[in-house]
Structure 1
């Protein structure tokens, strides 16, 4: 990052009322990813490194585009608590839209010097959206990144064509955007704004939702190794979740806040009076001592490599929170084949059993994200997968008492443990899980294995592309999770059998002791 950009950003920070300890920290290029924050001098735990007023963050509420719409709405609407933006754009895309408009405003944007220090290309962020889709599909085959990247790209194209471009045409002149700027906006510019949001925004509070926070997003991520926490952000005080989620787009009323930057003097005072956010600042606080020269890390949360790569553009080689992704259709394929081959009429897919599966869909598929179930690196199977298996293999006598009442069925399912499912299903459960694992392993590139992927990663050179490195890390983590999951499940069953055997032996021994006592009492052993 150039000295001029750093100076301008520092001036911007001071101008909006934010502060940071320049004697303790500096911004500089990071060997890990883009730029980062480094310690100039020893920093003690508990030190407040920076403060950022919520009025200075780039949120949907503060952004020029939506303030303009709010002002127009407030002048005509009966209910000032309504959000006009919700009728224009899905909450998930409101922040990216706002960021795109701020970038188009150029020097007129209150956040221009903040935007100047953001990555100027998708390649700088490193997310898979920056890559050629066909190459992502080939290199990341089977990891879920191949499918998710394509799905996201298609959805973003639809949003750009049907919402963003028409919004620019309708509102561009009102916001003094030149006609040539509006006409020449590209899909890649919107992709970049979307990537800014997914890689940097985090939940600030119910009023602002996911927001871009100057200074805070300069800190790079380190899983379970962070030096700072962001206080005053999110419900749990940890503003580390950079992924977009419309669950964070709240509209709760709160006290009045200080004035915030605006374009063309646009501010929605009427709306603000009804939705007054917390006027307090966000504080970036050290949670451990930091030695001079070290990079200072935040954490984006305990996330698997799939999510780290998809949202933030990097992966971690030894990620303790990695997961394997198994698509819903693959699980359903294995289960359908089991039902078709079921030798026992008690386990065949009768209309009554099928009705149970459909009735429980709301619970079973609640854990799926974009139709993917997760299996964690410690081998824990997503409960939704096991419930699906249970519904297919459980003896009908176990399900029949609940088949007439959907609520009772769901309550019954929620109380089932792994052992309950294993006891109900026996060998078929093990076979189904094995088939699910094998089907997923077969989706990775032919000729590859855990050993070959580990060897390829160890032998990677400067000629190995970032995409190839990420794909290797993704496959390694996912293969380990899949194999561990199967071993864990079999291990639980083995331990269960051993426990039952020990229980039986104890019962036999207890019976012998009882017989001996009786004989003692009757004098037969005298």
Structure 2
């Protein structure tokens, strides 16, 4: 079990550092930190992190956070107003109430969370790609999917701020000021929420609710969890946050040796997702959750190459139109290091694109439904690294050539990146951004190259 934190000895004639101030605040609000760990800016993979001062056994509680110390729209000083006006704060992100709370608390000198929020004097130090210039994003991150995701984020943030936030804060000039609570600060706080917030898992109901009703449940809103957000992420983590009715606990999930960093997990995140949402990436080949996306349009392009007759072209166009209806908003198939992670979608795309005219006519008559003796387990095995070489030749060709097309989107000269990332001296001479970009690009391309090997005719 965790032991009581020792109050740090402080010379009251000196100015406390932001970290010392935060640790004293943790003590005041009842956050219990094991004396086997310490928060540090040295010896960790990022600006802040947590180190083990002693051996920690699996199952030990590293720290406990009372729910009263969490920062969200229900605990902020303006919670009553946010609750009263919730209908006017609805948005596609669902984050507006939390972001309004952060706008208020971050700029209030009297905020209960000031020692916590003062750890971040400028959220741009998070170095999300949204803070890079558009030219830099498009040039360095070409092919990764990140520039497109960031463009969407920035457009949504501006729309949300202009349409929802600005009218609301204008109605309450005693709490917010558009000259202080600007779009720029709002964007920085979005990055802060992306990088540091937590969402409580949905509680399963004991009663037999209809599955459809369960699916319609809105996800729990994000919240800021002081101390838990000090822990950095790796896919091979050694600690995990657990939720109880009264508190949140960080629990050791495998032994941590003295001197090791304590790592949490942000979930099964590929490197491009880590860079997009958190501003960092794991070292090349160390992220077991890395992925590469192949746009479904690339599979269609390969399927239509060499078509000469009008009838065949018409068939391909009709097949594509039906696929777009069936796939709805799913625009890519995702491959991980062990095979396809969206195997059902890939199976559907390949099956439809490779249908003869007669097969497709029957498929249309059934409105896309058909008897299929291939269950999910068999499909999953067929599109794993072990199963891919055994696929029918026409399917392998589509996957192989679509992977080749996808590799080309990274731009000319990208093959030299593999040499660069393996040259320790040259790699060390790169900027932090260049290193993170290489880790993302080389990780994705290694998955695509492996896929091409497995589907070679």
Normalising by structure 2, report the TM-score.
0.80
Q: Which residue of 1 aligns with 2:5?
A: none
1:183 and 1:328 map into 2 onto residues whose CA distance is 45
Q: Could you tell me how far 1:198 is from its partner in structure 2?
A: 0.8
Q: Distance in 1 between matches of 2:333 and 2:97?
A: 28
- Name the CA shift for 1:352/1:156 in 2 (closer, same or farther; >3 Å): closer
Q: Which structure is larger by alpha-carbon Rg, 1 or 2?
A: 1
Describe how 1:118-267 pairs up with structure 2 within 5 A: 118=120, 120-122=122-124, 124-173=125-174, 175=175, 177=176, 181-206=177-202, 209-224=221-236, 226-232=237-243
Q: Equivalent residue for 2:407?
A: 441
Contact 1:379–1:482 under 8 Å retained in 2 = no
Per-residue deviation, 1:61:
2.9
Q: Provide the residue aligned with 1:377 in structure 2.
A: 337
SS in 2 for 1:99: helix
Matched, 1:320 2:320: no
Aligned to 1:294: 260
Match of 1:43 in 2: 56
Partner of residue 95 from structure 1, selected from 72, 95, 98: 98
- The correspondence for 1:453, drawn from 391, 394, 417, is 417
1:410 and 1:485 map into 2 onto residues whose CA distance is 29
Deviation per residue, 1:77-120 (Å, 9 max, x gap): xxxxxx4355467414443343223212x222221111112362
Change in 2 beyond 3 A, CA 1:166/1:350: same
CA contact (8 A) 2:89 2:96 kept: no
Q: Is residue 69–residue 85 contact of structure 1 (8 Å, CA) maintained in 2?
A: no
Note the residue ranges of structure 2 that are not aligned, 5 or more in a row: 1-14, 203-218
Corresponding residue for 2:119? 117
Asked whether the equivalents of residues 323 and 374 of structure 1 are also in contact (C-alpha less than 8 Å), the reply is: yes
CA change 1:87–1:222 in 2 (3 A) is: closer
Cα displacement (A) at 1:455:
1.8
Q: Deviations over 1:290-313 (max 9, x none)?
A: 333322111222211001111111
Q: Aligned to 2:351, what secondary structure does the other structure show?
A: helix
Match of 1:417 in 2: 379
Distance (Å, rounded) in 2 between the aligned partners of 1:485 and 1:443? 16
Deviation per residue, 1:295-352 (Å, 9 max, x gap): 21112222110011111111112222211123344444444x34x7177968961786
How far apart, in 2, do the equivalents of 1:422 and 1:380 lie? Answer: 9
Aligned partner of residue 107 in structure 1, secondary structure: coil
Name the SS of the counterpart of 1:214 in structure 2: coil
User: Does residue 364 of structure 2 align to residue 403 of structure 1?
Assistant: yes
- Whether the 8 Å contact between 2:91 and 2:160 is mirrored in structure 1 is no
Q: What corresponds to 1:309 in structure 2?
A: 275
Residue 231 of structure 1 aligns to a residue whose secondary structure is strand
> Which ranges in structure 1 are unaligned for 5 or more consecutive residues?
74-82, 233-277, 495-526
Rounded to whole Å, the distance in 2 between the matches of 1:130 and 1:61 is 30
Deviation at 1:212, TM superposition (A): 1.1
The answer to whether residue 5 in structure 2 is matched with residue 4 in structure 1 is no
How many Å apart are 1:376 and its aligned residue? 1.4
Most deviating of 409-418 and 184-193:
409-418
Aligned-residue CA RMSD (Å): 3.3
Counterparts of 2:448 and 2:75, CA distance in 1:
44
Secondary structure in structure 1 of the residue aligned to 2:109? helix
Q: Deviations over 1:195-225 (max 9, x none)?
A: 111111121244953211111111111211x
Q: Distance in 2 between matches of 1:60 and 1:410?
A: 49
Contact between 2:89 and 2:165, CA under 8 Å: does it hold in 1?
Answer: no
1:392 and 2:353 equivalent? Answer: yes
Secondary structure class of the residue paired with 1:406: coil
1 CA distance for matches of 2:92 and 2:320? Answer: 38
C-alpha change, 1:213 and 1:411, in structure 2 (3 Å) is farther
What SS class does the counterpart of residue 109 from structure 1 fall into?
A: coil
Distance 1:446 1:103 in 2: 45
Which structure dedicates a bigger proportion of its chain to helix?
1
Moved more, 288-297 or 129-138: 288-297
- The C-alpha deviation readout for 1:346-377, integer Å capped at 9, x for no partner, is 89617864664355234xx5xx3xx4432212
**Which residue does 1:52 correspond to in 2?**
65
Q: What is the number of equivalent residue pairs in this alignment?
A: 416
Measure, in 1, the Cα distance between the counterparts of 2:144 and 2:56. 41
**Separation (CA, whole Å) in 1 of partners of 2:50 and 2:440:** 27
Please state how far the C-alpha of 1:29 moved relative to its aligned partner: 0.4
Larger CA deviation: 322-331 vs 124-133: 322-331
Normalising by structure 1, we get a TM-score of: 0.70
The 1-side partners of 2:307 and 2:167 are apart by 53
